[in-house]
Structures are given as C-alpha cells and as structure tokens.
Structure 1
Amino acid sequence: MSKIPATLIPGDGIGPEIVDATLAALDALGAPFEWDRQVAGLEGVKTANDPLPPATLASIRRTRLALKGPLETPSGGGYRSSNVRLREEFKLFANLRPAKTIIPGGRYDNIDLVVVRENLEGLYIGHEHYVQIDDDPHAVAMATGINTRAGCRHILDYAFEHAIALGRKKVTIVHKANIMKALTGIFKETAEQLYEEKYKGRIQMDTIIVDACAMKLVLNPWQFDVLVTTNLFGDILSDLVAGLVGGLGMAPGANIGADAAIFEAVHGSAPDIAGQGKANPTALLLAAALMLDHVKRQDLGDRLRRAVDQTLNLDQVRTGDLGGKASTSEFTRALVARIQAGG
C-alpha cells in the first residue's frame, strides 16, 4: 500500500492525548498515512513564537492533508485564531460537520444530519473596527460581512454534490434573508438559481430562516437531512446539532478546499483536564475516519467508525463525559482490540 504524506498537529491541552489515541487506532487499521509532525496554537507560540509557524504551513502545502487536535485561541486579545488562519491560507471553503447518534437512549435518538458551513466569507472575514466618541475609544463597534456570488456557488455546489454522493434526500438552505436582505439574500438567491440549473430532479431542496431552523432542530431534528448555510449561522447550528448527539466530544469536522483538506476535533483544548487521562478521543477518531474517506479509503473509515460504535456500545467502555469510568488510554486499548479483532 503506497504511503500518503499527511501533516499531524497534536495541538494544545488534551490535543496530544487524543491524537495519540487516534494514531494508535490508525496504526491498528494499517492506515496509509506517513506523518509529518508540526505545531500550532499555543504550542506554536511556545516553541516557535508563532501560533502558526512557517514550517507548519510549508508542511501542509506539501502534503495538502492534515489531522489536527484542538488549538488554543485566547478570548479578546492575544493572537488571531489559528483555525481561521488555516482556513484562509489554504482556501478551505467548506466546513463539513456530520452528526450521527452513536450512543442510543439519549434525549434525541437516531440523529443523522450533516451541516455544511461556508468557511471563508460572511461576518467572519474579520473586517472590524471601533469608532471613538469623546474619551471612549470603544464607543462604537462595527463589523462588515461579505458574501460573494462565486463564494455562495462554491459552497452550495459542494453541499449539493456531497449530499447526492452520500445518497441523501434533501438539502435545506438556511438564511436570514428576511432581515439581512443583501448579505444572506444573495446566498438564498444563488441556491435557488443553482437548484434550477443543476440539481432539480436529482435531490430535494427547501429554504428556512435560521431562527426557525434552530427551533425546529430542537423540536423535530428528524425533518432535516443536509443543512447548508453561511459562516456565522453554520458555526452556531453545527454546535447545536452536535448537542443532539451528545456534545462536541462526539463531533468531527472536515475543512475542505480545492488544494488541501484539514480534519479536526471541533471541541476546545480543555486545558483543565489536560494530562489527566480523562479526554474522550471520539471526535478526533471520527475526524480521522472522514480523512480516510477523503483519501478514498472508506473501507478503513467504516471499520474505524464500526469499532468506535462497538467499543462504546457492546463493550460499554466509555470515558467520564459519556457516563463511563474509562481513562483515555483504557478506551484506546479497548478500541484497538476491537479493530484487531476485525470489528
């Protein structure tokens, strides 16, 4: 099996622990990745005085593929999010956030949703400034959001094609065109045009205002299949959807561009439990499964997802956040045993 070069960023806080667990599972699968280990986030600041060191960027440019643990970003001041910078640097326009029930019996069951979030435009472009009035330098805060026709088409095309490839039945366009008539109106308008041009008859499409979507996701999430939306709404709704399946500890993420793809656990670095063996590696394991799908090894991705399911449900080996008593290493050993047993 030919090796596939890939960049590995262990990240901050619990990142190294969940990355080690994921590497153990990938090794047991015989996954084809050849890792180039790099740093970013707080670890990048500590070791290279840069939250996104040039060597890390060069590695991803070379491999065009990366798996990363959570990176710490200070609130307020400090440095800008390395995650946002990575998306911009490699034009990772699509953020893919699947949410599927693994542990049954929760408040919601049989959830199987995909949120596709636009990653580069909207209100997250970072065009912000303050206006001083009298002696208050922060008297007025202003932000500019930008959505382009080309950017909308790019993410909508991806969402429709991805949904069709997965055999999904419906794509729901989430917007706020009743209030932000231009900024999100262009997204809704482009979706309707694109659907008429290319996708009508191939898959169903509907549209919904974001606040109504949030309410309906809580009341009856099973009415949705694939949701596609702009940057800010996608950030919020993807976390809401993760809550339906047990929280961010169960939520993998993929950032897809034309020339690179970065796979991640979407939860934070949880420095309060770092090094204590309490971390749940499930989100990063599921992200690694998405990474295997991406490199056309869905057979291995499916084996990994099946082994995670069996470890949690048949073996009942779970970390504390899932109501169990297993440490990170105990969960990892049980998972590796499942993989080796042909799970």
Structure 2
Amino acid sequence: MKLAVIEGDGVGREVIPAALQVLDCFDLPIEKIPLELGLGKWEKTGQAITDADLEILKNCDCILFGAVTTPADPNYKSVLLTIRQELDLYANIRPLKPIKGIKGATGNTDFDILVVRENTEGLYSSIEEVGENEAWSKRIITRRASERIAQIACEYAAKRANHLTIVHKSNVIKADSLFLNTCRDVAHTHNVIHDAMLVDAMAYDMVRSPEKYDVVVAPNLYGDILSDLGGALVGSLGLLPSANIGEKQAFFEPVHGSAPDIAGRGVANPIAAILSVAMLLDWLNRPEQARIVREAVEKSVLDGIMTSDLGGKASTLELTDSIVSHIVSTF
C-alpha cells in the first residue's frame, strides 16, 4: 500500500511526524511517499500544488495530511479543495466524541456525533469572481452528490444508533430543498430513522443537547462549521480527526489548521493527527489496531500528559512518546 505523507505548513510539520511514530508501531506493509505541498512550496516555486503532485497522489492508496496555510492572495490555489475535487473525495467524516479526562466548553461528555459532510460542491465549488465593488461565489447542489453523501451517511447510521439528522436551510435557500429531499429519499430506502434541522437551530441545539444526535449529514459549508463547533464541545480543535473518503482512495487529516503562531515551538497537540491515523487504520479494516491507538490516547490524557491547549504542560514530543509507550505495552 502506498501512503502519501504531506506535512504541509506550520504545526503540520510537527504533528505528522508524531502520527507516523504511532503508525510505525504496527509495522504495516506501507510505502510512504513524502510530498511537499502548501504555502512553503508556493513561496519557493509559485505553485502550492502542481499537476505532477496530483498524479503522484492519484497513484497512492491514501494520504496523511498535516495542515496548510492559505494566504489572502487570489492567485493561490487551495491545496485542500484541489485534492478533494481532483480525487473526488466526496465524503468528509468528522467524529465528535469526548476523550475521558477532558471536558469541553459545556462540560457535557455524554455524546458521540459523526458529522458526514458533502465535500466536493456547495459554496466550496471554487467558481468565484472577485471585483472591486462586487464579489460572488456560485453554490452548487446536485442530486448525484446529495445521493452519495446520504448513502454513506446512512451506512454509518445503520452501524450506530440508526438515526440521521439532515441539516439544511431550505426555508431561506431554496437550493437546499434538493439536498434535504434527496437525503430523505435515501434514508427511506435504507430504513434509517431521520429528521431534519435548520443549520442555525442545529448549531444552537448541538451546544445545548449534543447527546440527542448520532449521524449528521450536511452540505459542505454547514458541515465544516458544525464540526468545528464540535471542537469546543470536546475541548479543543487539537482533538478532532477527519477522513475524506472517495470510491477508491482516502485522505486523513487533523481538523485544525497550520497554527503559525505556535509553529516550531514544540507545543502543538498531536492528538488530532494521531486519531486521524486511527481512522486510517479503520479504513484499512484494522479495527483492533485503531482501538489500541484510541485507548493509548485516552490513557495518556488520564495520566495527565497533555499539551497547553488542554491545560497541560507536555510538549508535542512528550505526549507522542507517552502514546507510543502505551501502544507498545499492549504487544
């Protein structure tokens, strides 16, 4: 199996090596293909990602990605959007589940939400025009994309509590009715219990009563915002992993950004990147090894070894070493 390894910018260069330490504990038959993408490459070459880079990625089975810095420059081509669209990684999967020993902003730890976000269209379609006095972005919702994201959401729901919440804003944005109705039709076909929530009401209720929700399916922008809100619920964006799934390939990354303000200081939280490796192991149909990784993270936290975003004093390296130690002790 070929794994493209992209550290990216900022703290990506610190958390991805940490994640690889964890992955290497299992001695899997993986060929790692390092690739430089992002702002650093753009500053050196004028391109953040090239056609040659995309060809390399298309020839890999999966990708482990750190984070990239996106400058406010209209000539900068978004690395993430380009990869998602070119490789057709249509499903963004973001679990929101507390880790024992960490409380989020509300103190509620009784929830386990899976946000399934459509990943290729919506307001992130990259069809835009920016002028001096007017700017616009074209928002695209298609039946095909709505059907396939609803399909994968229903598959997850069937393995969990068999409940799906469809997020929309069709009372104001009429295009959302296509997404809503298509998801309802797919849920009916799969016999998945489902309801629907307006996105603003959903944001409010996720904070108030997150335990009510199981699998949440949403168009691109709504899913992005709601899953980041989940960072406050679990305690930090540094705890949130994600997967971008396509028909044949997958892309794993921490939800957090490149955090240039703390880059290079050795204090970045590696947990989101390490939990992204757990999602990679699940995708490789190695659930036992994924479980070991998650339990090792939890044990380290309960030992009090945490980075500063969680109120601790551990460095990136110290937390990583603790997690690796717990993994090795299981063998």
TM-score (ref. length: structure 1): 0.91
State the shift of 1:61 in Å: 1.0
Out of 291, 294, 297, which is 1:305 matched to?
A: 294
Counterpart secondary structure, 1:259: coil
Partner residue in 2 for 1:109: 109
2:19 alignment partner AA: T
The answer (yes or no) to whether the contact 1:111–1:244 under 8 Å persists in 2 is: no
3-state secondary structure, aligned to 2:127? strand
Q: 2:157 is matched with which residue?
A: 163
What letter corresponds to residue 182 of structure 2 in structure 1? T
CA positional deviation for 1:48: 4.4
Counterpart among 177, 193, 197 of residue 204 in structure 1: 193
- Which residue in the other structure is 2:181 paired with? 189
Cα contact 2:236–2:310 (8 A) shared by 1: no
Residue identity matched to 1:118: E
Deviations 1:14-38 (A, max 9, x none): 1111111111111123344220110
Q: Is residue 147 of structure 2 the alignment partner of residue 143 of structure 1?
A: no
Larger Rg: 1
Decide whether aligned partners of structure 1 residues 211 and 76 sit closer, same or farther in structure 2, where only a CA change above 3 A counts. Answer: farther
Output the amino acid matched with 1:23.
L
- Residues 216-250 of structure 1, C-alpha deviation per residue, up to 9 Å, x if partnerless? 11111111111001011111111112221012101
Unaligned runs of 5+ in 1: 131-136
**How much has 1:87 moved relative to structure 2?**
0.5
C-alpha distance in 1 between matches for 2:273 and 2:17: 10
**Cα offset, 1:42, TM superposition:** 1.3
Equivalenced residues, count: 328
How far has the Cα of 1:281 moved from its partner? Answer: 0.4
Deviations along 1:183-218, one digit per CA (max 9) or x if unpaired, are 10001111222223x212xx3111111111111111
- Give the conservation status (yes or no) of the 8 Å contact 1:129–1:142: yes
For residue 80 of structure 2, what is the aligned residue in structure 1? 83
Q: 1:75 and 1:310 mapped to 2: Cα distance?
A: 40
Alignment match, 1:134 = none
**Where does residue 123 of structure 1 map in the other structure?**
123
Tell me the amino acid that sits aligned with residue 199 of structure 1: H
- Range moving further from structure 2, 322-331 or 39-48: 39-48
2:208 aligns with one of 188, 212, 219: 219
CA contact (8 A) 2:39 2:71 kept: no
CA RMSD of aligned residues (A): 1.6
8 A Cα contact 1:38 1:55, kept in partner: no
Tell me the alpha carbon deviations over residues 134-188 of structure 1, each in whole angstroms, 9 at most, x when there is no partner.
xxx52232222111111110110111012213x233110001111112x100011
Quick one: distance in 1 between partners of 2:55 and 2:242? Answer: 22
SS in 1 for 2:134: strand
Tell whether the 8 Å contact from 2:236 to 2:309 is kept in structure 1 after alignment.
no
C-alpha separation in 2, matches of 1:105 and 1:267: 18
Distance in structure 2 (CA, Å) of the matches to 1:333 and 1:23? 12
Measured in 2, the distance between the counterparts of 1:243 and 1:251 equals: 10
**What displacement does 1:110 show?**
2.5
DSSP-derived class of the 1:145 partner? coil
Aligned to 2:39: 42
- Unaligned stretches of 5+ in structure 2? none
Does the CA-based 8 Å contact 1:31-1:300 persist in structure 2? no
1:293 paired to 2:293:
no
Select 1:33's aligned residue among 30, 35, 40. 30
Distance 2:39 2:321 in 1: 29
Q: Read off the aligned partner of 1:176 and give its amino acid letter.
A: K
Counterpart of 2:330, as a letter, is: G
Q: Cα offset for 1:128?
A: 2.1
Given the alignment of the two structures, is residue 71 of structure 1 paired with residue 65 of structure 2, yes or no? no
Q: Deviations over 1:50-100 (max 9, x none)?
A: 211344322221113100100111135340221011101101111100011
Q: Retained in 2: the 8 A contact 1:29–1:339?
A: no
Given the alignment of the two structures, is residue 52 of structure 1 paired with residue 49 of structure 2, yes or no?
A: yes
Question: What amino acid maps onto 2:219 in structure 1?
Answer: T
Do the aligned partners of residues 99 and 168 (structure 1) sit closer, same or farther apart at CA in structure 2, a change above 3 Å counting? same
Q: Identify, as 1 or 2, the structure richer in strand.
A: 1
Q: Following the alignment from structure 2 to structure 1, what is the Cα–Cα distance between the partners of residues 73 and 208?
A: 34
